[in-house]
Amino acid sequence: MRFGISTFVTDESIRPDVLGRALEDRGFDAVFLAEHSHIPVGTRYPDGRELERVYYRTLDPFVALTAAAATTERLLLGTGIALLPQRDVIHTAKEVASLDLLSGGRVILAVGAGWNREEMRNHGVDPGTRGRRMDEQLAALKLIWTQEEAEFHGEHVDFSPLTMWPKPVQKPHPPLYVGGNSKAALARVAAHGDGWFPTELAPDEIGRVREWLAERGRTGVVINVVADPDDPSSVDAYVAAGADRVTFHLTTLPESDGLRRLDALADVIARYQD
């Protein structure tokens, strides 16, 4: 069983280079860093709650993952999640390929449509089209990474023939995980994804999802679930149900507190490792 950590790395938290080394030393196989380019003033959750401080202070995930890459050898370096509709697809292709090269082929690009509508609008993105835009972006990324000359003409992504190097080390390209729990997200996994990163998934749904994907010719899709490390029964259930990776959320903490929390989480995963 593989175990990962997802977290917000900020200017007030444990540094990503220290975090990466600590995770690798403690037996975690992957880290997933959240992304928010900015937070529009006055933003709240859809249910009206105030956003936590970490949203306002998050580091760029690709810069942070590069720092983590420099201090690790095996740790997989993931976004968790990158807000792809807000991003320029060509720049994103370049960033991911560059990090994959520098890390020796360890990148996972986990993407999602996002929920902060004002954040999207500040990037010139219509929230109502973000799903369709992301579908085109995922298709375009694969073309840029795998073809010497790539060309794409869609409703939301349009570019004439281009060349972009470096190409990713991983072939045919770095794994694409799709975040989200909706039917649209799962359909996107079937169409484009190498993995699924739902924030909520009952253990007894894993088998059904695998069957549904297999019916569409998609076998081998990584199912990356989020579990509560303080509830051993939930971890046991995901392990028994055949999840590929169990991910724990690490609260954003200063270095000393963060390392103590990682020690506690390492004790949890030790029960499932030979």
Q: Is 186:195 a contact under the CB 8 Å cutoff?
A: no
Average pLDDT rounded to a whole number, residues 93-122: 97
Per-residue pLDDT tens for 121-177? 999 999 999 999 999 999 999 999 999 999 999 999 999 999 999 999 999 999 999
pLDDT(105) > 70: yes
Ramachandran category for residue 217: left, alpha or beta (phi over 0 → left; psi -120 to 50 → alpha): left
Distance CA 23, CA 206 (A): 26
Distance CA 100, CA 107 (A): 5
pLDDT tens-digit readout, 181-229: 999 999 999 999 999 999 999 999 999 999 999 999 999 999 999 999 9
**Span 22-41, mean pLDDT?**
98
Tell me the whole-structure pTM to 2 decimals: 0.97
Confidence at residue 55, expressed as pLDDT on a 0 to 100 scale: 96
- Is pLDDT above 90 for 178? yes
Cis bond upstream, residue 166 (ω within 30): yes
User: In sequence order, which residues have a C-beta less than 8 Å from that of residue 59 and are 6 or more positions away?
Assistant: 9, 10, 11, 16, 33
Q: Are 34 and 273 in contact (CB under 8 A)?
A: no
Q: Find the mean pLDDT for residues 90-95.
A: 98
Q: For residue 46, is pLDDT > 90?
A: no
Strand partners, 246: 3, 225
The pLDDT value recorded for residue 232 is 87
Work out the pLDDT band at 274, boundaries 50, 70, 90: low
Number of C-beta neighbours around residue 161 at 10 A: 10
- The helix/strand/coil state of 176 is strand
Q: Which CATH number fits domain 2-270: 3.30.230.10, 3.40.50.12170, 3.20.20.30, 1.20.1250.20?
A: 3.20.20.30
* Mean pLDDT on 92-104: 98
Instruction: Report the chain's mean pLDDT, rounded to a whole number.
Output: 96
Using CA atoms, how far apart are residues 92 and 115, in angstroms rounded to an integer? Answer: 20
Angle of helix 232-241 versus helix 206-215 axis, rounded to 10: 30
Domain ranges of the chain: 2-270
Asked if the peptide bond before residue 85 counts as cis, ω within 30 degrees of 0, the response is no
Q: Do the Cβ atoms of 261 and 230 come closer than 8 Å?
A: no
